[in-house]
Structure 1
């Protein structure tokens, strides 16, 4: 780009909301860039990205055009038959149009469209200077920002995420003068609130990052992120451990600081008797500290991040240690008191806690899950009694003081209390794993017993949710049925459990019954429950669409298997693999099209109530291509019977792919709808045999565009 200038826009504010900060910065950056481009101002955004700190949002673009390109305009006027009279002189319509365009009518051009010839005014005017456009661009970008709760300050009408304190707008080395929310733009930024609390002169946009760094502000969030990681890891190594750095905690610390500095701290080792998950939760969620672990086990060390480079780190350390101690003391108290009560005793209170108005208490849910777990366990090689015991204990920690204070520790606390109560390690682990996957991308349960509990828990949640009329609508999903459906499907598929999902849903529905005060006879109850089964099954399949899309499975491949609605989701997964392998074969497109054609032919015959026999009568075969296909189909069926029985769908489809030449020859040389009805029926039977064998794996016709 020629004739370009660097652009800097900095909006200084009071401390912005931490979680909204990255989104606000992105919105301002995108809005400024889009606003310029919409006006024809070329933008060089190479390596440019949003800049921000808790007190500022900034846009730094290395090059924008100094002005718009020439602006061409084209305004259409009246048609010639209306614009000129019989003598070729302008009518009032043409004179008025010319006057509005401020030109003589003879200077107007002519053009032709579908209705005829008409006058047109074409003009080219110089583009506006970018500096003149920026106030409007900036105002538009700010107005479009996603501010969750705009604040008002003073007696003004305007509002923003936080009160605006200063505004820098530089195009090249010149200030673009403009007012914004009571502030006039200039070139004076601000340094660190505590370390350099004074104005910072910005000579040109290219000086911005270094000028603020000299004033103890790292305006680039990537620089702050890298500095935090480096310092935290170094501090952790200094105390002989490894820092736990989660993306969420790191992001929040980045948004809380302008000049981060790590401080190594510690707490009394006695607190390590508390489940480490509770201590880690406190450090990360409440204080934004970074725990230090050694071989995966929490140590008595943690790293705090100060927003200053303190000359007296000991004082900062003492403050961090002092603020964390009461929280740890509370956690230890809750844990000790829970141990005195015991996990079994905690469960007694579940009968008084409502799970859902129509579905009874938490104790009712526990009983249903236990029955389901006991049913599922033998199917996957787990002891039924152990599954029932684990399920009966899995929700008891909901009555613990620890979970009351730290809800995120559901299951985790139960695992610790189960071990303390002398329960087998397998049961303790399963209590924890029954909640997995806890969030998108989380692992499923690892132990067989944990998998059984996770499946049983989600089956009951789905059956109960649909029975109580809690099916998600739009963004509303109060019982997290979508997440539970995907968690159920993932656990079954990724565990390789060949379970009959439809049968399990029937069992779960039977345990839930028909909630609510209305009394129905037993037949109506069973009818209502049976009607829910396909709805829940389809709901689960809908969740799998995204799951397989993330794995690169196309919509057509997914639909080809979903059309069959296999009872086993593990079997569903094997069919998905097979259809993917088949789709990559050179014969796939032709065979898919042929299957689609066959399906249409059979559908038409069925609509006519035409009887199609189950077997082929070789005595009615007339054409060589018909005979060749019949022989090839029967051979393929014989070759694939064993593979189909063993669910080796890849082998089945690979063998059927060899039929392509015979299928092509059949359709090229044979008329299916022969005049002789017996011959027609025989040919339909042949096509039906072929379609049924393909259809035993998937609806191959779905692959045909």
Structure 2
């Protein structure tokens, strides 16, 4: 290694650090040390470097750090020449004072010129500081900047950290950089595994660090621990003819809990498998950090525990893991058995006494609204309206179950199991579970048609009720998770290909919410909707018009329309991020959002089309032309100029005008069918062919002709072209 560059090791030893905070603390220390050195001009080679940590230590290992700063240049500006020198060219008191303060003769000063004129300046260079002298300040600065929400104090000291600090190693090359920190002094002595090697570990140089700790039963590299855990867990699972379930979250926590991980294959009584596997998996992963073993997607009676020691008697460790999990499983089995005795249907009786939201009534009231919405949506997408109502009526009943009371994450999942046990149709049981999808960012939407219907209805009511009750999110506050519900609703509609009028559905959900707030849950109103949907399903006739005519209360309808418009805009705002993640630019999104299509599926098809169009060579020119046309038309309308609906070919005077008219009419004729079929890609691809005619028109034709009839005819021609483009998107948005 270059004598001017040495490896750097900083290890901060502590009591066990908070598991979930550990990776973030390690990242912060690593970034802080690196940034602190670079800020001071110390060159850092961080090739392949990354944060190192275990539950008892945070470490930074950099392969190459310059041993000193580069030469430091400085400039100190003095008085301007017209002030510094008198008429005879001799120094004034201002210049003499500046030179004396700098410790030099005034004749040694240089001159520099800025916007105000020429002035004296002292330029100097000095050797850079030794990195060894800078490190204490760099380390202290990095530690002070670490994100520690609840610092801990110990002893009678003023300092604080995430956990009490026990030791500090600071090595630059083979030299110890001595410094005090929180009551201890740095040296080269690390610590081994608390149980396997409870003694100091000599670190000769930073390059020895990882191997020296490995010999002391500590894998300080989290990636090495992660790989070891995965390899051992999968091997243990294969030994019982299964596959381990290894989730990122569970794996990360086990990595942060261990220094020398070792997998132990365990088992439990097969009788517990009668309990829904989700409850058992939840217990193993969340409460115990164990890895369940599956076979063909089904839970087996095996699981893998991770010991933080290499035990001489694994059977003892195994027995301990099996002993600790048994009471939790016994509780889950008891809850499940008792819930089965009660039955899913009877659980729903208690929902009348559970408040959903003060202004919107009970959970039972919400269920009734969701059931009505589910029926309506089912008729519009070709699903079974009766089954949709039944699924909605049962979907919240498991909230009253003992199982969900103990395991809230099993909402819907428990309901599916209880519905199956009660003899409900399989599609109804599955929809109860799928109504919660997507449960989290990146989760799949519901897969079954009925599940999709129920997921949409549930989120519509939540959103419309939230808006009606004045619960629209502000800042970081979103107690009813309306942002997440809006995105889940939009994703379900778009990814299902449901061509639903979301504006009308938002209005209907708003009417139901407003009615609930003003008069309580109107059973008569909900019954009327049920009758209409049943009739529509039988006849195949759309139900929206009949339902719209139901509402004689014009105030409620108007309030619902207003909140429905706000809800639509709220959903579009959620879609900005959704499409940005898919690579859709802001201008492309705005080009479609400007039209506010009622159908989100239709919105998605327009987004696809505008993306394809934007990639065409003609796009930029046509976008600019559309922007110009739009401005021309707006100006004419502002002047009160009446633009005809059709082109009068007898008023066409210029060849370029005739060519554009022919091109526009041909393009409109060629795209009528595609536009009717919502094939927007085809529409814009065909319209792109008019570019040459548009360019020739603007190059050779004056739109605002002196003859009013000719001008009107030319405006009509441009309006025809602008209207056909505008039927897909406002492509002028693509113009810079």
Q: Does structure 1 retain, via aligned residues, the 8 Å contact 2:511–2:556?
A: no
SS at match of 1:572: helix
Which of 681, 690, 706 is the matching residue for 1:659? 690
Are the counterparts in 2 of residues 414 and 432 from structure 1 also a CA contact under 8 Å?
yes
User: Could you tell me how far 1:556 is from its partner in structure 2?
Assistant: 1.0
Aligned-partner Cα distance in 2 for 1:277–1:413:
9
Partner of 1:210: 211
Distance in 2, matches of 1:391 and 1:177, equals 68
Aligned: 1:685 with 2:716: yes
| Residue of structure 1 in register with 2:595 after alignment | 564
Cα contact 2:609–2:681 (8 A) shared by 1: yes
d(CA) in 2 for partners of 1:612 and 1:175?
85
Q: Are residues 1:81 and 2:82 paired?
A: yes
2:259 is aligned with 1:258: yes
DSSP 3-state at the match of 1:112: strand
| Deviation readout 1:33-87 (Å, 9 max, x if unpaired) | 0000000000000000000000000000001000000001111111000000111
C-alpha distance in 2 between matches for 1:191 and 1:2: 31
What RMSD in Å do the two structures reach over aligned CA positions? Answer: 1.2
Q: 1:66 corresponds to which residue?
A: 67
Q: Pick from 569, 577, 590: which aligns with 2:621?
A: 590
**TM-score after normalising by structure 1:** 0.99
Aligned residue for 2:152, secondary structure, equals coil
Cα separation, partners in 2 of 1:203 and 1:235, compared to 1, 3 Å: same
1:514–1:528 contact (8 Å) kept in structure 2: no
- How much has 1:517 moved relative to structure 2? 7.3
1:240 CA displacement: 1.1
Deviations along 1:500-540, whole A, 9 cap, x unmatched? 11111111011111665799x94443332221111110110
Distance 1:254 1:691, change over 3 A: same
SS in 1 for 2:163: coil
**Residue by residue, what CA displacement relative to the aligned partner does 1:418-466 show, whole Å, maximum 9, x if unpaired?**
0000000000000000000000000000000000000000100110111
Shift in alpha-carbon separation, 1:370–1:76, aligned structure 2, 3 A: same
Note the alpha carbon deviations across 1:559-613, whole angstroms, 9 max, x for none: 1111100011111111111111111111111101100111111111122222111
Aligned equivalent of 1:613:
644
Q: Distance in 2 between matches of 1:514 and 1:105?
A: 88
Partner residue in 2 for 1:325: 326
Aligned twin of 2:675: 644
SS of 2:264's equivalent? strand
Correspondence for 1:476: 477
Partner residue, 2:701? 670
CA separation in 2, counterparts of 1:242 and 1:433? 25
C-alpha separation in 2, matches of 1:273 and 1:486: 36
Give, in whole Å, the separation in 2 of the partners of 1:333 and 1:384.
Answer: 36
Give the corresponding residue for 2:234: 233
Cα contact 1:590–1:660 (8 A) shared by 2 = yes
Q: Output the CA distance in 1 between the equivalents of 2:298 and 2:557.
A: 52
- CA pair 469-306 structure 1, distance change in 2 beyond 3 A: same
Tell me what 1:91 maps to: 92
Tell me which residue corresponds to 2:125: 124
Residue in structure 1 matched with residue 523 of structure 2 by the alignment: none
Contact 1:514 1:529 in 2 (8 A): no
CA displacement at 1:282 relative to structure 2: 0.1
C-alpha contact 1:195 1:308 (8 A) present in aligned 2: yes
SS at match of 2:12: strand
> 2:571: which partner in 1?
540
Question: Which residue is 2:47 aligned to?
Answer: 46
Partner of 1:315: helix, strand, or coil?
Answer: helix
- The alpha-carbon deviation at position 164 of structure 1 amounts to 0.4
Q: In structure 2, what is the Cα distance between the partners aligned to 1:130 and 1:617?
A: 83
CA distance in 1, matches of 2:184, 2:213: 21
Equivalent residue for 2:501? 500
**Equivalence for 1:162:** 163
Q: Equivalent residue of 1:673, what SS?
A: coil
User: 1:21-40, CA deviations, whole angstroms, 9 ceiling, x for partnerless residues?
Assistant: 00000000000000000000
